[in-house]
Amino acid sequence: MRTESGQERRGAIIDAALSRFLDKGLSATTLKEIQADSGSSNGSLFHFFKTKEALAGAVYADASARHQRAFLEELGRHDDAEGAVKGIVRMHLAWCVQNPGMARFLATVSEPAILEAAEQELKDGNERFAAALRAWWRPHAHYGSLRPLTAPQSLALWLGPAQEWVRAWLLGAFEKPPSKAETEMLADAAWMCLRADAG
């Protein structure tokens, strides 16, 4: 009989917490409900997460890490800058449509206690992500394909419009996620902002 690993137990708790937080909100959700949903013991839950805020922070950090992994995997599929820039916009929109719960949690959580609980995990993950992005970006900027931008600058221009579109859809302003034509419009706009001759 296969024994569940600690990482799998932690993942099940995070998945159950995300579902509950989105359904009922953080304040109305109890750790007992998450424990029951995840099939974990009381001791197992508190072994990983001492407070509800710590668990919510872990949910946020986990969603962020999953998106960053998908971003870097997509980046690695492209040799040319234009293909990568447009491919990332398509990936981001598709990821949000395929993972609406995680996307909505990332787009709406702003409680300081949650972000503080995940501060170190987010800092470590963001630093690794930024380093990987810089390593990819540098040669493309050096050889004249992309503008010489910092990671925060590039991400703001790259995904800012697409993220605002997704956020509006997730919060009910639009009935449907971006169409194929709208996705291509956002991908073209990102390339226009980031290509070397844009500025």
Give DSSP secondary structure letters for 97-121.
Answer: HH-HHHHHHHHH---HHHHHHTHHH
CATH code where residue 176 lies = 1.10.357.10
114 in any annotated domain: no
Query: What is the CA 190 to chain-centroid distance, rounded?
Result: 18
Region 31-40: mean pLDDT is 92
Considering its fold, how many domains does the chain have in total? 1
117 in any annotated domain: no
pLDDT tens, position by position, 154-179: 999 999 999 999 999 999 898 899 99
Structure tokens belonging to residue 196: 């070397």
185 in any annotated domain: yes
Domain that holds residue 95: 65-100+127-198
Q: Position 84: which residue type?
A: A
89 in any annotated domain: yes
147 in any annotated domain: yes
* Terminal Cα-to-Cα distance of the chain (whole angstroms): 61
109 in any annotated domain: no
- Percent of the chain at pLDDT > 90 equals 77
Reported pTM: 0.90
- Taking the CA atoms of residue 68, residue 173, residue 109 and residue 178 in that order, the dihedral angle to the nearest 10 degrees is 0
54 in any annotated domain: no
Q: Three-state SS string across 46-82, please?
A: HHHCCCHHHHHHHHHHHHHHHHHHHHHHHHCCCCCHH
37 in any annotated domain: no
Helix then strand then coil, in percent of the chain rounded to 5, is: 75, 0, 20
Whether 23 shows a pLDDT value over 60: the answer reads yes
- Which residue, among 156, 152, 158, has the nearest Cα to 195 in the 3D structure? 158
pLDDT tens, position by position, 75-95: 999 999 999 999 999 999 999
Q: Based on the number of CB atoms within 10 Å of its own CB, is 15 exposed (0-12), middle (13-18) or buried (19 or more)?
A: middle
